[in-house]
Amino acid sequence: MLFPLSKTPNWIIFLIDILLSIISLISAYFIRFEFQIKTAEFEFWHKSFISILIFILIKCIVFFAFKIYQGHIRHTSILDIKRLLITIGSSTLLLIILNFIKARFIDERHLLPTSIIIMEFFISYSLIIGFRFAVKIFYIESVNKINAKNKERVLIYGAGVSGLITKRTIEKDSESPFEVIGYIDDNVKLKNTRLQGTKIYSSLDIEKIIQTKKINKLIVAIQKPNYEKQKIILDSCLKNSVSVLQVPSSKSWINGDFTTSQIKNIRIEDLLGRNPIYLQAEKIQKELNNQIILVSGAAGSIGSGIVKQLVNYKPKLVILLDQAESALYDLEQELNFNFPEFNFSIVVGDISNFKRMERLYDFFKPNYVFHAAAYKHVPLMEDNPSEAIYTNILGTKNLVDLSIIYEVNKFVMISTDKAVNPTNVMGASKRIAEIYAQSNKHAKTKFITTRFGNVLGSNGSVIPLFKKQIEQGGPITITDKRVTRFFMTIPEACQLVLEACSMGHGGEIFVFDMGESVKIIDLAKKMIKLSGLIEGKDIEIKVTGLRPGEKLYEELLAKDENTIPTHHPKILIAKVRQSNDNIKQKIEELISLYDMQNNQNIVKLMKEIVPEYISNNSEFTTLDKE
């Protein structure tokens, strides 16, 4: 049963406030006369009976006028304290005024001694506030005791402002399913201290705290976490079957606040994310400010990410080129809403159509090109080699040739780690596109290539697939238990592309430090745990076998023997085999095979152009033996 005053009628609260005021008056009297009770003083009170009635009447009138009895005292706030100060202060001021009027114009006697009126103010203010906070504390404790059995015991990761707001939000919500046991924080100096009465533990002791305090959930309440430290904490939680939740970004808070319903399961991207990249923003700004920039594949994950990064550098115009009209429309709406001052133009078109691209270059005359348009799905391109050469090679050739004709300053090609020692048609097609771009070393346009691995959350990546499979109840499908991949977030990849653009002098192939590789099966298991499910009980993991052209392990691009370091620790320059002088003629011949639609002939010539292309788990493996 809750504290009874939580549902008490307002008139009872009103009478309690008046009673506390009378007690305050009596206390003030005793303090004024140093607790010495004499017969003459009893006579004083007998003679002052009318004054006391007037005191009570004034309190009743003022308390009623300010309606201090109407608030929910179990939810007393700072605003309530201010209102009480004004109310009690007003009654005290009124008594002092009546004192003056009576002594000056009636019988020279005060209504009540002024010293007693002033002392009564301080005593009554303290008692009435104390009464309300006593009810509030008792109510909260009563609610917590009643609901403790049904609540989940949580730790808040982050003993900062966001963590404190999170705790307050949970405690204010009577329907909240959480009971805050304490904070954990990376700052060891905060260990065993308290934040508004709640203990702070060291994140180094996370596993011990989980076990001794029987923690069910961890709420991450850090707006800008250190990802390396966060990974350790989150891995410990998943290891001990503790669910991990996250407070939303402060940008999504409503009027600077949020509700417990906004606390959601943490995303797998946050487990794989890395600390922020520090860019040479001034150099990028100088390079791209007030420029006309073309982004091909602008509606895709990387293309749209580059577009959103470009907003920060105030280009004159950004041309958003893609053939996916629905995705372009969605991007247009997002940019209009989030960046109303951003100047961009939408172009629907296919990079493989030279006439359409020529019209685009002639009309807009771009200064910079970021070429992200490409077919990227390995199994699909393995089944459709002609489309891989048509889009990835012919499309790139069209943009490269037009960039030279229209004297574009820099052409940045977005490639892939699958172009390194390719084992599939897609990777080989991207390598050939790289070769064609790099073969124009004497052109006025500077051609720069960037390579990186899988991008978290990008279209067609494994994470959206796993999420969908989990939502459908499984099974989660992986091709092989041994498969590993490198991962990078979309913003991180796009930031590094812009950095590579600013530092490139032409002819370089920049490769990005992708960090440590991740086992796909471990990724699947973590996603299952993050969803609150149990592998083998709630959902299964099914091994389907390697797909055509798929590698078990991606090439490690950051090896000392095949890269050269740059000023940026996450960007290196690849050492690649120099192409023959007749390479352009070979690529022209390869493109001409599109019309014949003979996959064997197409792939055979691709292998001639890229000798390191060795098919894996593919129908084209036989061509390697010829």
pLDDT of residue 555: 64
| pLDDT confidence of residue 251 | 59
169/135 same-domain check: no
Which distant-in-sequence residues (6+ apart) come within 8 Å of 359 by Cβ?
none
What is the per-residue pLDDT across 219-228, written as a single tens digit (0 to 9) for each?
888 877 777 7
Q: Is residue 272 part of a domain?
A: no
Contacts of residue 542, Cβ cutoff 8 Å, sequence gap at least 6: 475, 476, 477, 478
Residue 378 lies in a domain: yes
418 is catalytic: yes
Convert the pLDDT of each residue in 447-469 to its tens digit.
Answer: 999 888 777 766 667 878 888 88
- 167-178 pLDDT, tens per residue? 888 877 767 788
What CATH number does the domain containing 293 carry? 3.40.50.720
User: How many of the other CB atoms lie within 10 Å of CB of 308?
Assistant: 18
What average pLDDT does the segment 507-511 reach?
A: 84
What's the 3-state SS for 243-290? EEEECCCHHHCECCECCHHHCEECCHHHHHCCCCCCCCHHHHHHHHCC
Higher pLDDT, 490 or 381: 381
Same domain, 97 and 182: no
The dihedral through the CA atoms of 18, 23, 26, 27 has a sign that is negative
Strand order from edge to edge, sheet including 563-565: 344-348, 317-322, 292-296, 368-371, 410-414, 446-451, 509-512, 571-574, 563-565
Q: Residue 179 is encoded by which pair of tokens?
A: 């009971």
How many CB atoms within 10 Å of residue 577? 9
Instruction: Identify whether residues 350 and 461 lie together within a single domain.
Output: yes
Number of domains within the chain: 3
- Which is the catalytic residue, given 418, 526, 586, 607? 418
DSSP, res 191: T
Q: Strand 509-512 vs strand 476-478: parallel, antiparallel, or unpaired?
A: unpaired
**Tens-place pLDDT, residues 271-328:** 676 665 666 778 888 899 999 999 999 999 899 999 999 998 999 999 999 999 999 9
ω into 340 cis (within 30 of 0):
no
What does the DSSP 8-state code read for residue 156? Answer: E
Can you tell me the distance from the alpha carbon of 373 to that of 363, in angstroms, rounded to the nearest whole number? Answer: 20
Same structural domain, 85 and 54: yes
Look at residue 558 in the predicted model and tell me its pLDDT: 39
For residue 72, tell me if it sits in a domain. yes
Amino acid 388: pLDDT: 94
Structural domain includes residue 273: no
Owning domain of residue 359: 281-625
Residues 332 and 188 in one domain: no
Please, are residues 372 and 335 in contact by the beta-carbon 8 Å criterion?
A: no
Residue 275 lies in a domain: no
500 and 436 inside one domain: yes
Phi-psi sector, 507: left (phi>0), alpha (psi -120 to 50), beta: left
Q: Which of 84, 94, 106, 97 has its CA nearest to residue 56?
A: 94
Assess whether 201 and 80 both reside in one domain: no
Tell me if 128 is assigned to some domain: yes
Specify whether 346 is located in the same domain as 411.
yes
Residue 146 has pLDDT above 60, yes or no: no
pLDDT, residue 457, reads: 65
Of 264, 234, 232, the closest CA to residue 248 belongs to: 264
DSSP state of 535: B
- 219 and 355: one domain? no
The residue among 120, 145, 170 that closes a domain is 145
The answer to the question of residue 83 being in a domain is: yes
For 67-97, the pLDDT digits (tens) are 766 666 666 667 777 777 887 778 888 888 8
Q: How many other CB atoms are found less than 10 A from the CB of residue 239?
A: 12
Residue whose C-alpha is closest to residue 124's, from 68, 71, 47? 68
Closest CA to 155 of 184, 115, 126: 184
- Look-up of token digits 């070769």: 435
Residues 125 and 157 in one domain: no
Q: What is the mean pLDDT of residues 397-402?
A: 96
**Claim to verify: residue 175 and residue 206 sit in the same structural domain:** yes
Question: Residues 290, 384: one domain?
Answer: yes
Last residue of a domain, one of 145, 172, 199: 145
Integer Cα distance of 305 and 451 in angstroms: 16
Q: How many CA atoms lie within 13 A of 46 on its CB side?
A: 6
List, for residues 561-591, the tens digit of each pLDDT value.
477 777 777 788 877 766 666 888 999 999 9
Structure-token pair, residue 423 = 């084992």
In whole angstroms, what is the distance from residue 484 CA to residue 521 CA?
8
Is 441 inside any structural domain? yes
Greater model confidence, 540 or 43: 540
Domain boundary among 103, 121, 145: 145
